[in-house]
Amino acid sequence: MKVIIILDQIQAGLGGKEHADTPLGGKKMPMGSADNVEKALKNYQGEIIGTFYCGTDYYQANRDLVQRKFAKMAEKMEADVVILGPAYDYPDFSQMACEIADYIQSQTKIPALVACAKEKNEELIEKYHDNLVIVKMPPKGGTGLSDSIEHVALGCDTVVQNHDVADFKAKYCY
């Protein structure tokens, strides 16, 4: 299973809020928090073939460009699934994650999963939970992160293998 992960500048390990203007970029390897996700994906014969990133301010100023380029790169690299997050309880990254996931699913045949916390994101989750697979995640520093990462990996396997997504969503998603 070939997986692409999309992160903001913080989760990619490229700096804090002061670097929210980081332009879009990517590497053909796990970066930042993608390392933990890749370990969980190995249980499902999955590997991260690329990490895409951009700062949340850059995304808001260049929304259409970022969505289009990330979707095209996912298609070009022949990803089986795209993960957006972990976004924890960061509202700007969670919004970016849901919007890009929605775009990728509507413009490509590649499924996308979002991982974010309910805290600070309740309206966003309410808006997207019917159309997206949004895996439950604790807020930053909360308990249950390892379980959430395992659920993200299971979710990737579920959508790629065309297993029952409704059952998965009922157990692990909003």
Please report the pLDDT score of residue 71 as a whole number.
98
Specify the amino acid at residue 174: Y
pLDDT per residue rounded down to tens, the chain (174 residues): 999 999 999 999 999 999 999 999 999 999 999 999 999 999 999 999 999 999 999 999 999 999 999 999 999 999 999 999 999 999 999 999 999 999 999 999 999 999 999 999 999 999 999 999 999 999 999 999 999 999 999 999 999 999 999 999 999 999
Closest CA to 74 of 104, 106, 115, 44: 104
Are 98 and 67 in contact, with CB atoms under 8 Å apart? no
Specify the amino acid at residue 93: F
Please report the pLDDT score of residue 160 as a whole number.
97
pTM exceeds 0.85:
yes
Kindly provide the residue ranges of all beta strands, DSSP E only, lying in the chain, ordered along the sequence: 2-7, 25-27, 47-53, 81-84, 112-116, 133-136
